[in-house]
Amino acid sequence: MHNTLYIFLGCLQVLIVSCKGEPEAKSIEVSKDKETINLSGESLAKNHCASCHVFPKPELLDKKTWQLGVLPQMGHRMGIYEDMTRQSLIESNPGGQLVERQNIFPPKPILSIKQWNLIQKYYIDSAPDSLVIPNKKIQMGIKGLNVKVPEFHVSPPMVTAIKYNPELNEVYVADTKTEYSAINILDHNLKSVSTLALPSPISYLDCKSDTIIATLMGGFMPTDNPSGSVVKIFKRPGEKDYRGFMSILKNLQRPVHTTFTDLTGDHLEDIIVCEYGNHTGKLSLFIKHPNGEYSRKILSTDPGAAAVVIRDLNQDGRPDIVVLMSQGNERIDVHYNLGEGNFKVSTLLKFPSSYGSVSFSLVDWNLDGHEDIIYVNGDNADFSRFLKPYHGLRIYLNDGKNNFNEAFFQHQNGAYKAINHDFDNDGDQDIAMISFFPDLLRNPKEGFIYLENTSFGDSITCNLRTFEQASSGRWLIMEPTDFDQNGFPELLLGSFTGMAINGDPRGELAQQFAQKSPTIMLLDFD
């Protein structure tokens, strides 16, 4: 199981920037004339706001967030620019041309101002003043857990990707700054061996033998500009150091996840790239040919492709592509492999656009021979930055026909990643969860939660546990490793401290993390 920088991409716009003061809320008046008398804000909202994604119910956000954060952004998508000009939303580069081509921001309103005011009034009047966050009892202490904080340190820690190489028993840690990044190569004792500099932020790492494969976003801030790439870094014959460099793919829209696999049955490795983008994006398949060249097949033109898992989901002997889409129209799709490079897409799960989908995995949780879904949502850095009761982890069980039903939910503020394993060696699957947006002011220990499986029968139940040092970092990355080569995974956590903290307007707490957080932390379950 790989570890990836997933939706951190959607929140890059607030990196290393403290929160600005919020504008004053204003009341919305709606005139009663022939144009509006037979319309309701709810019906208009369902007509316009559910055309691109799951209908966003007012109760998903509080009044203040709707009025000051989300509704102005919704207005832009309807051609209404009350708080800024249309041109200021569009980049003056090829990315801006893509946005123009797809008419993301209409040059003219697609509805009247009176209709727009009805929609706004519906959301503001119907939304609650605040959302109730579930209480959860997290016990301190995890039996058999040994915590190691290595001497390796980067200041400030800004880890965006980690990849363990089981063949060489070493690990690659990507530390990303504004316009460049470094791959730190650590041995099995987590001591630095060498460092490689790259001229672009790294979103994902993979490896094959002694070759490192890096996915480069192209730029740190959200953009539609196709400046990302996938590169190979390798050792030249007879050399011990990584000095070889080769670009595999170029001109990608903020790629965040790359998968190599043979999808056409010709024994050549094809490449699936999640081009997350910003307002636009792609899910791209690059089919490899015998001459070594690739031809591109675009599977989706939606933004937000975050992660891919390859499985033969319909058990027809061909590998299928399961993808998490996490920007606006949040969902999990499967692209069924029809053979000869052809695919048929089907949506497995849909989520509201405020959910903040981040990561997922496929696992046969109930051991019935069918892949179930573990889904994590907790991105909390766009236009609704407050604690949400629906953030956390969900387990969806497969009925055997690839219909998925929710069987379990565990709340965790700002949940970001989950890894399942029988960590306590009692015969069932436990889950380790990290949060990049925990309640750092009141409940920082939820930055890492261990779900000890206590299920009996068909119901899924867990005890929640954590450890003392869990609150010392801001955990963006979690990667399974096996440094002691015993076949039982450790977990390597990576901290990213380059983001403002909600409720910390002066940046004092963020500064403390930047100065004191470990860069990585190893969790060894004995």
Q: Sign of dihedral through CA atoms 337, 343, 344, 349? A: positive
3-class DSSP assignment, residue 512:
helix
Give me the pLDDT at residue 4, please: 40
| CA separation, residue 113 to residues 17, 35, 83, 105, 328 (Å) | 33, 11, 14, 16, 23
Q: What angle do CA 373, 477, 183 make, to 5 degrees?
A: 130
Reading the block at residue 56, the tokens are: 């966003």
DSSP for 95-114, written as a single string = HHHHHHHTTSS-SS-SS-HH
Identity (one letter) of the amino acid at 281? G
CB atoms within 10 A of CB 60: 21
Sheet containing 211-216, strands listed edge to edge, beginning at the edge strand earlier in sequence: 202-208, 211-216, 228-235, 242-252
Give me the pLDDT at residue 456, please: 87
Give me the pLDDT at residue 180, please: 82
Q: Which residues contact 342 (CB under 8 A, 6 or more apart)?
A: none
Q: What are phi and psi of 139, to 5 degrees?
A: -80, 145
How do the pLDDT tens digits run along the chain, 526 residues long? 444 444 444 443 333 333 333 444 455 554 454 444 457 999 999 888 777 778 999 999 999 999 999 999 999 999 999 989 999 999 999 999 999 999 999 999 999 999 999 999 999 999 999 999 999 999 999 999 999 999 999 999 999 999 999 999 999 999 998 778 999 999 999 999 999 999 999 999 999 999 999 999 998 889 999 999 999 999 888 888 888 899 999 999 999 999 999 999 999 999 999 999 999 999 999 999 999 999 999 999 999 999 999 999 999 999 999 999 999 899 999 999 999 999 999 999 999 999 999 999 999 999 999 999 999 999 987 667 789 999 999 999 999 999 999 999 999 999 999 999 999 999 999 999 999 999 999 999 999 999 999 998 889 999 999 999 999 999 999 999 999 999 999 999 999 999 888 888 899 999 999 999 999 999 999 7
Q: Which residues contact 83 (CB under 8 A, 6 or more apart)?
A: 72
**456 burial type by CB count under 10 A (0-12 exposed, 13-18 middle, 19+ buried):** exposed
Give me the pLDDT at residue 239, please: 85
Give me the pLDDT at residue 15, please: 33
Reading the block at residue 252, the tokens are: 């990608």
Q: What are phi and psi of 82, to 5 degrees?
A: -85, -30
Task: Give the DSSP H/E element, type plus range, for residue 350.
Answer: strand 342-350
With contact defined as beta carbons under 8 Å apart, do 220 and 176 qualify?
Answer: yes
Compute the 3-state secondary structure of the chain and give helix, strand, coil in percent, each to the nearest 5.
Answer: 15, 40, 45
- Give the domain 139-525 fold: Methylamine Dehydrogenase; Chain H (2.130.10)
Closest CA to 337 of 358, 350, 323: 323
| Residue spans per domain, the chain | 41-126, 139-525
- Residue 65 zone, left/alpha/beta (φ > 0; ψ -120 to 50; rest): alpha
